[in-house]
């Protein structure tokens, strides 16, 4: 198990180093998230919908779609001069490759969230107060599930002609339970309800995380072995 995790970290570090050099996906995702916030802000009628009702939806729409930008790039870098062959011919397990990609994607999504959440708070004048830490925890839990599913489908879609279309088409149906649980628990917190009222949604989020991480890790080798 230690070998699997070590190899996964080596692969994640490599992916993060590439993203740090190019910054193409990160800038795209951050700008997409900020533009999303602005557009929703101007489309919002505060007399019809309160900020506490609107913000969870806005937050999870922009996280879901900005995350897809990074997920698409995850296996895209492996198509450069068939780099994936070098990875698959190495002695690391297929599970390590999946987990490495997923760890890099998780850090990518978390970095986007670190910018987008404060931006949301400022734009919508959210009374974050003492719910900041639970909100960050929910964002992290949701990111785990989104990244597990997205990484698997990124691997499947990367060699197709319509990869940029296929990835969201395949991923979004599986994102639904994660996004519902995340947005519902976020709504409870932002509306000032006690955290125990969000506990059922958070438990659901954890359950889906466990299922998706395990299922996608097991399924990944079948997407690369002929």
Partner 1 sequence: MSSTISSGGPPIVEVAELTRAFGTRRALAGVTFSLGRGECLALFGPNGAGKTTLLRVLAGLLRPSSGSARVSGIQLPGGALARSRVGLISHRTMLYEALSPRENVSFAARLYGVRDVNARVEDSLRRMSMLERGDAPVRSLSRGMQQRVSIARAMVHTPQLVLADEPYSGLDDGGARALTSLLGELRSAGTAIIVVTHNLAEGLSLATHAAVMQRGRFVRYDPADRIDATAYSTTYREALAGG
# binding residues, partner 1 (CB under 8 A):
24
Task: Verify binding: residue 104, partner 1, rule CB under 8 A.
Answer: no
**Rounded to 5 degrees, what angle do the CA atoms 17, 133, 25 make?**
25
Q: Does 164 bind partner 1 (CB under 8 A)?
A: no
Burial class (CB in 10 A: 0-12, 13-18, 19+), 88: middle
92 three-class SS: coil
Q: Is 82 in the site for partner 1 (CB under 8 A)?
A: yes
d(CA 61, CA 119): 14
Cβ contact 73:151 at 8 Å: no
Which residues lie below 8 Å from residue 94, measured CB to CB, with a gap of 6+?
Answer: 88, 220, 221, 224, 225
Residues 6+ apart with CB under 8 A from 160: 166
Q: Is the distance from CB of 113 to CB of 144 less than 8 angstroms?
A: no
Based on the shown chain and the rule CB under 8 A, indicate whether residue 83 belongs to the binding site for partner 1. yes
Quick check: 226 binds partner 1 (CB under 8 A)? yes
Nearer to partner 1 by C-beta: 21 or 43?
21
Which listed range, 75-83, 130-138, 174-182, 209-217, lies at the site for partner 1 (CB under 8 A)? Answer: 75-83
The residue written with tokens 């990367």 in the block is 158
Nearer to partner 1, 73 or 188 (CB): 73
90 lies in the binding site for partner 1 (CB under 8 A): yes
Measured from the CB atom, is 22 or 50 closer to partner 1? Answer: 22
Q: Looking at 10-18, 26-34, 182-190, 211-219, which segment touches partner 1 (CB under 8 A)?
A: 10-18
Compute the distance between CA of residue 22 and CA of residue 80 in angstroms, rounded to an integer. Answer: 14
- Each residue 19-58 as x (binds partner 1 by CB under 8 A) or -, in order, gives --xx------------------------------------
Residue with tokens 């922009």: 62
**Residue among 22 and 159 whose Cβ is closer to partner 1:** 22
Binding site for partner 1 (CB under 8 A): 7, 10-11, 14, 17-18, 21-22, 77, 80-83, 85-93, 225-226
């Amino acid at each position: 198990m230690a070998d699997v995790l070590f190899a996964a970290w080596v692969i994640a570090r490599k992916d993060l180093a590439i993203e740090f050099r190019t910054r193409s996906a990160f800038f795209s995702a951050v700008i997409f998230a900020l533009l999303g916030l602005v557009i929703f802000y101007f489309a919002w009628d505060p007399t019809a919908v309160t900020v506490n009702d609107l913000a969870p939806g806005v937050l999870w729409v922009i996280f879901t779609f900005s995350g897809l930008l990074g997920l698409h790039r995850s296996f895209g870098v492996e198509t450069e001069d068939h780099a994936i062959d070098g990875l698959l011919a190495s002695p690391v397990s297929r599970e390590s490759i999946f987990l490495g990609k997923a760890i890099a994607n998780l850090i990518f999504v978390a970095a986007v969230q670190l910018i987008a959440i404060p931006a949301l708070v400022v734009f919508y004048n959210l009374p974050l107060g003492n719910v900041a830490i639970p909100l960050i925890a929910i964002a992290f839990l949701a990111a785990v599930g989104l990244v597990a599913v997205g990484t698997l489908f990124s691997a499947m879609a990367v060699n197709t002609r319509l990869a940029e279309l296929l990835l969201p088409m395949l991923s979004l149906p599986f994102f639904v339970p994660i996004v519902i649980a995340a947005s519902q628990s976020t709504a409870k917190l932002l509306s000032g309800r006690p955290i125990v009222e969000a506990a059922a949604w958070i438990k659901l989020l954890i359950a889906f995380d466990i299922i998706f991480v395990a299922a996608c890790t097991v399924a990944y080798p079948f997407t690369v072995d002929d």
